[in-house]
Structure 1
Amino acid sequence: MSAAETAAGTAFELDRMLADLEELVLCESFSSDHEAVARSALVVAAQGERLLGAAPEPILIEGVTHLRWTFGTPRVLVLGHHDTVWPIGSLASRPWSVADGVARGPGVFDMKAGLVQAFHALAALPSLDGVCVLVTGDEELGSPTSRALIEESARGLAAAFVLEASAEGGALKTARKGVSAYDVLVRGRAAHAGLEPERGVNAGVELAHQILTIAGFGDGATTVVPTLASAGSSRNTVPAEARVAVDVRVPDLAAQEEIDLRMRALTPRLPGTRIEVTGGPNRPPLEAASSAGLFALAQSIAAELGLKPLTGTAVGGASDGNYTAGVGCPTLDGLGAVGGGAHADHEHVIVAEMPGRTALLNGLVQAVLSGHTTF
């Protein structure tokens, strides 16, 4: 019997999944509130222990709580996060609800429904041997404390399945751009703007030149966007300092390296100014080659399950899947909830899609554990 046939024969009860989703959503977990994330970790750990039959390893790094379950020698990583972008108290204005087939609440789409689907999918496996489940607590902040943990957990494995929410229409995320972040500081010399401006060196004017240069680095596929900018200390003073933050999204490592070289080669236009560039690559790209085989496998399993044909798409946003792909682990992302509105007031999950997506993950994990190697 194939993995898809086994998954198809498993009844994933929507009522139980919704009860578990409600439990997670009602425990708010704003990324920047370490105490809230710790409370959420207790709820996630208890839910996972009930469904998987084992308690996780809690991992506290710089005050952030992560959870990891390891069964035997891992070959498959199932990856998610339990933190959200929603400040504590958001439930008051965005309460948990299920109406007309749609679940709402802070973090329901990104990505608490994905966690529920993961636990239920894995609970239905004939054996968990070979599975590692990692649920991090700071993904929405860029995974500053969990990156090394993610890379360690993924390195050398056959596959990583990322339970981030799907793209529009339920599409899987088969490629994600890499991310780099820079801060450009310009130093000039202050002077009175009315009495003797000629004695100053205007860092703000130099920054304007640099912003135009930086904005020209993008080529469509690669985006280089100057964002937060500031200059000066008072209206009547020639600015002695000016700075700009730069957001970079790249389709591949070659582009990431090229932009890094160009950023570090910025040179002043005005005599007497100096430029300091800090930052650099943050997340490597999840390139299409990393997901191609797993996506083909997912399409085959979806067809056997009788699900609607799967589509894949490349997105500009990053996830922890960038890190798993970056260490060479084949990675398929966007396997979580179908819905929309991540980080927005209209965040929602289409509940009827949850059992099918759960069966898909169940079939994928079984296929890899059983030795499927065509990807």
Structure 2
Amino acid sequence: MDGRSLVRDMRAALPSLLAEIETLVRAESPSADLAAVARSADVVAGIGARRLGAAPDRIVLAGHTHLRWRLGDGPDRVLLLGHHDTVWPVGTLATHPWTTAGGRLRGPGCFDMKAGVVMALHAAAAAAGQGAAVTVLITGDEEIGSPSSRSLIEQEAAGARAALVLEPSAGDGALKTARKGAGFYRVRVTGRAAHAGLEPQRGVNAAVELAHQVLAVHQLGDPDLGTTVTPTAVSAGTTTNTVPAAAEFAVDVRVRDEAEQDRVAAALAGLRPVLDGARLVVEGGGNRPPLTTAASSGLYARAAALADRLGLPPLSGAAVGGASDGNFTAGVGTPTLDGLGAVGGGAHADDEHVLIDALPDRAALVTALVLDVLSGAGSRR
């Protein structure tokens, strides 16, 4: 297929893109509501079956519903990756309704990332129509860290020539060429209760121990290396007149490379109590490995050249702090390019929106990138 005609065909398909995105946005799907995620999966499966001419494999893991299509034959294939769960609770449509006005569409989860799901299905259909072997994997628990789908994602990525992630773009439509790795920890403190007025000296104050540990953990960050170690949710004590016997806090870790991930993990494991009689337990660990520029640079160069060939605006890339399932695909050594989905803004925020005119051009770019990656796969193998 000629590149320019691919863009024209995708632009002609814009009404279908919009109708399918609306249908999916109206299927609200907060990650923790398993029934809602299952209903959303039904909607994705229906759209995909009509678009791709085949029903997906429906994979339910720990109650979360994931969908997979494997299109085409041959050992060389490209993985298109996305998720249909969102951060928005059921009922959000009442306050954040579906709208299209001023060149923007709005609705809960439209940018992150239901528009990207529909774009992936359109791109897969166009690429498979040209004989490409494509796997489409749409998961249902990305927004809570992909606890059930991680192994599935890694399995599909390990056999792919490339992973193209239809997460939304960075600012001004930039592709995401690097993502920090993420880790989530919980530090639990055990002290000893006592009456705060009569004999506080008999207690071991878990809140005071927690304060020491929060300050120590905060010092583990390294701004020069882009490492952030952030104490977040904190709790301690039971009543106002009791020395707290227990306390805990959560820790969010973001790193650019695995060496920093290992350093912070070792430092957290090495925390020791400051107060006599206090005890510490550190739980958790790394959730996602970093997606480095080494994993994305080759694909980004291909995408930039294709954008020029297709007559699309020049591409830009950005390194971002947030993690995605693209971290997993890069972690198993598969070349990965992220942020290929919707152009817009407001992820997880009240102003979430998608720029309508950019939808078909991005879908055409993804299609062209699939075909380009596979065009030389045999000789590389």
Identity %: 60
Q: CA RMSD of the aligned region, Å? A: 1.5
Partner of 1:40: 40
Partner of 2:241: 236
The CA deviation at 1:156 is 3.4
TM norm structure 2: 0.95
Partner of 1:222: 227
- Letter aligned with residue 301 of structure 2: A
Partner of 1:179: 182
The CA deviation at 1:127 is 3.4
The CA deviation at 1:263 is 0.3
The CA deviation at 1:14 is 1.2
The CA deviation at 1:232 is 1.5
Counterparts of 1:33 and 1:128, CA distance in 2: 38
Q: Is 2:34 the counterpart of 1:31?
A: no
Partner of 1:343: 348
User: What is the SS of the residue equivalent to 1:161?
Assistant: strand
Partner of 1:319: 324
Counterparts of 1:269 and 1:25, CA distance in 2: 50
Partner of 1:254: 259
- Letter aligned with residue 343 of structure 2: V
In structure 1, which of residues 188, 197, 200 is the aligned counterpart of residue 200 of structure 2?
Answer: 197
Partner of 2:294: 289
Partner of 1:359: 364
Partner of 1:266: 271
Partner of 1:115: 117
Q: Which moved more, 1:235-244 or 1:344-353?
A: 235-244
Whether the 8 Å contact between 2:111 and 2:168 is mirrored in structure 1 is: yes
- Letter aligned with residue 329 of structure 1: T
In structure 2, which of residues 86, 106, 115 is the aligned counterpart of residue 104 of structure 1?
Answer: 106
In structure 2, which of residues 94, 97, 103 is the aligned counterpart of residue 95 of structure 1?
Answer: 97
CA displacement 1:117-151 (0-9 Å, x = unmatched): 11112222233542110000111111111111111
CA displacement 1:19-58 (0-9 Å, x = unmatched): 1111111111121111111111111111111111111101
- Letter aligned with residue 120 of structure 2: A
Counterparts of 1:94 and 1:74, CA distance in 2: 42
The CA deviation at 1:222 is 0.3
The CA deviation at 1:365 is 0.3
User: What is the SS of the residue equivalent to 2:357?
Assistant: helix
Counterparts of 1:234 and 1:22, CA distance in 2: 49
Counterparts of 1:117 and 1:130, CA distance in 2: 17
User: What is the SS of the residue equivalent to 2:367?
Assistant: helix
CA displacement 1:253-290 (0-9 Å, x = unmatched): 11000000000001111111111111111111111110
Counterparts of 1:167 and 1:288, CA distance in 2: 15
Counterparts of 1:250 and 1:334, CA distance in 2: 19
Whether the 8 Å contact between 2:10 and 2:361 is mirrored in structure 1 is: no
TM norm structure 1: 0.96
Q: Which runs of 5+ in 2 are unaligned?
A: none
Structure 1 outlier segments of 4+, above 3 Å = 4-12, 126-129
Q: Is 2:134 the counterpart of 1:135?
A: no
The CA deviation at 1:7 is 3.2
Whether the 8 Å contact between 2:7 and 2:360 is mirrored in structure 1 is: no
The CA deviation at 1:252 is 0.7
- Letter aligned with residue 196 of structure 1: E
Q: Which runs of 5+ in 1 are unaligned?
A: none
The CA deviation at 1:355 is 1.1
- Letter aligned with residue 300 of structure 1: A
Counterparts of 2:77 and 2:126, CA distance in 1: 18
